[in-house]
Structures are given as C-alpha cells and as structure tokens.
Amino acid sequence: MLVQLQYLRAIAALLVVYFHAILQLRVMDPSAPLGAALFGQSGVDVFFVLSGFVMWITTHGKPVTTLEFYGKRIRRIVPLYWAVTIAAALVALALPQILKSTVFDLPHIAASLAFLPWVNPADPEGKMIMPLIVPGWTLNYEMYFYFLFGALLLFKQSLRLVLLVALLAAIVTLCLLSPVQNTATIFYGNLIVFEFAAGAVIGHFYLARYRIGTGTAVALTIVSTAALLLFDFLELSYDRLLTIGVPAIIIVFAMTSIDFAKYRELRVLRFLGDASYSIYLTHIFVLAGCRMAYSHLPGGLFHDEYFLVISMILLSCVIGELVHLFFELPVERYLSGRTPKRSARLTVPSNSAKLDHPTGS
C-alpha cells in the first residue's frame, strides 16, 4: 500500500495553503509578527516529484495507449480546473476587488483554459507568468509533463525513461540558449521540470525493488524536510531545483522506501491527500473570502494572527474536502463511466484514481 503518497500530498497541500494564508495575513495585518514566517511554496516541488513517480508506476508494464493516457489525465484535471477558472473570471468581472491577482482579460482566460503559459495582466510589471487561478501555474507544467510522457508511451518501455530525461534536457537547453527570450522560453526552460523526471527515476527504482533501510529512510526524511523548509524560508539566490527540488526528491525517495502497511493509517492525512487537488485549487477563494470578512469580524480572538492563519487553513481543508466529495469525484466517475465504490485501496502497480491523482499534481 502506498498510502504515504497521500500523506505527502496532504502535507504538500497544507504547505501551499499555509504559504498563501501568510500572504493574506500580511495584507490583513502588516504588523503581525507571524507574517515574517513565510514558507510553504516547496509543497509544489513535492507535488512535481510525486507526479513523475505516479506516472511511471501506473503505466509501467501496462498496455496503456497514448490516447488512453491523455483521456484519463484530461478527466482528472480539466473539469475542476475549468470550473474554478471560469468562476474566478466571473468574480473578476463582477467583483474585481475580491481577487487581487486576477483581472478579466479574454486572451488570458483562453490561455489559462488551454494550460498555456501567459503573462498575468494583473501584474503591473508584466513579468508574472501565471494563469487566471495563480496556483494553476503548476498545472500548466503538469499538462506539459503529461503531453511529453504520453507521447513517449509510443516507444518501447525500456527507452522511455532515458528519452524522457533527454527530451526535457534538450527542450530546456534550447530555451536557455534561445537568442530571443519570451514567455515560452522562460517557462519551459525552467529547471523545475527535472523534478518530474526525478520522480519517474524514483518510480523506476521503486519497481526494481530498490529500497534503503527504514531507519535510514526515516533519518533522510527528517533531515531533508528540515532542509526543504529552511531553504524555502530563506529563498536563496540559487536555482530552486537545487535548494528545494533536491530535498523534495530525497523525501519522496525515502518515503517510498518505508513499508507503511506495517503502521496504523493516519486517516486525516489520507483524506486530505485524497482531496489535495480540490484543496489546492479552491483555497485561494477561501482565503480571499477570509480577507474580505476580516474587517467585519469583532476584535480579540478573531483578529489574533495565529487564530486567523489556523482558521484559514482549516476552512480551506473543509471546503476542499466538500468540493472533492461533491464535485471532483462525481464528475470524474461520470466521465469515466464508473460507479461509486465503497472503498478503494492503493496497491502497486495500480491505476486507481486515488493513486493517479494529478497533484499532485
């Protein structure tokens, strides 16, 4: 059972929510000391490594065609993302003061729905390459990964991993050496794409039954998590792949070496991991709502910085779980032609919807 993947997804989603909650706190109360404790964007890097790992182990040794792969990825990602993107566009049109980083711009909306990198018109400097739903920048990378990975399913299985790494390296090199730097070369030339490749490499070693001892894995996880959060907080000038990506890669590698079937399941983390995609996409609406409500709340406890951040995180999780249960799952089942199951277990190799989650992706 790879329940640890869901644990990692849950923790990654909570990190991202915390990061954005602190940003909102800075707006609500610029003097709050907790506002200085800004970290959590590293959750995205954990998602990327997990994505590569999951894509590899769920297709390895299976007769999955390129079209089948693309169809499944579209069913998993597109419905909820399009729903929240359209909702954000409508909010930007009707109530532009709610979402500070969003403006109603038709070309930008179209690019967002098509998962294409585009400069966000809300950025006064014209440098922020973000879709309408700002956290959706990771999904632009995910769809890029899926496009390349799906195409490589046309080749022999023994060649896919080498081709994946080589193809990503070639594209990054071309982008970096391009005499003209534009939105596309900047976006696709980002070294962060190698986190996905690293996840696939970990998946290869996992299926080859390469493991490290449990004690070593636990120690690596603790040390790497500390490094991940420290470098995330410090925001060093080195490339993100080195400062945050490497610890994220080691964490995933170490966690997949531990046999969690021996231990009691942490159901809360499991549930949050299952709903991580919904939490990831909807939490910005929840946080924006909290910011809008802040000035109308009575003082005292409701204006305490710790209470505010904890409340925003908990509310984001609750709303994300509800969206997962009443939108994400039903829509995915309908599009897949599947009937609800009373329970689902993660097994390897498995192609279940739970294991094949995009944030994942």
Average pLDDT over residues 254-264: 93
Average pLDDT over residues 150-157: 96
Residues of the chain above pLDDT 90, percent = 83
Average pLDDT over residues 205-213: 95
In a domain, 281, yes or no: yes
Average pLDDT over residues 65-90: 96
Q: What's the pLDDT tens digit per position in 89-124? A: 998 888 877 776 788 999 999 999 999 999 999 888
Q: Report whether pLDDT(236) > 90.
A: yes
Average pLDDT over residues 250-260: 96
Selection from 125-129, 218-222, 345-349 with the highest mean pLDDT? 218-222
Q: How far is 47 from 293, CA to CA, in rounded Å? A: 31
Q: Report whether pLDDT(143) > 70.
A: yes
Q: Tell me, what amino acid is at 69?
A: F
User: What is the predicted pLDDT for the residue at 270?
Assistant: 95
**Structural domain boundaries, residue 186:** 3-336
In a domain, 343, yes or no: no
User: What is the predicted pLDDT for the residue at 344?
Assistant: 42
Domains contained in the chain, number: 1
Average pLDDT over residues 62-91: 95
In a domain, 23, yes or no: yes
In a domain, 47, yes or no: yes
User: What is the predicted pLDDT for the residue at 357?
Assistant: 53
User: What is the predicted pLDDT for the residue at 123?
Assistant: 85
In a domain, 342, yes or no: no
In a domain, 360, yes or no: no
Q: How far is 133 from 278, CA to CA, in rounded Å? A: 13
User: What is the predicted pLDDT for the residue at 355?
Assistant: 57
In a domain, 245, yes or no: yes
Residue 360 pLDDT class (50, 70, 90 cuts): very low
Q: Report whether pLDDT(10) > 50.
A: yes
Q: What's the pLDDT tens digit per position in 330-353? A: 999 999 887 655 544 444 433 344
Residues of the chain above pLDDT 70, percent = 92
**Residues 132/89, Cβ–Cβ less than 8 Å:** yes
In a domain, 345, yes or no: no
Average pLDDT over residues 320-324: 98
Half-sphere exposure of 151 (CA within 13 A, CB side): 9
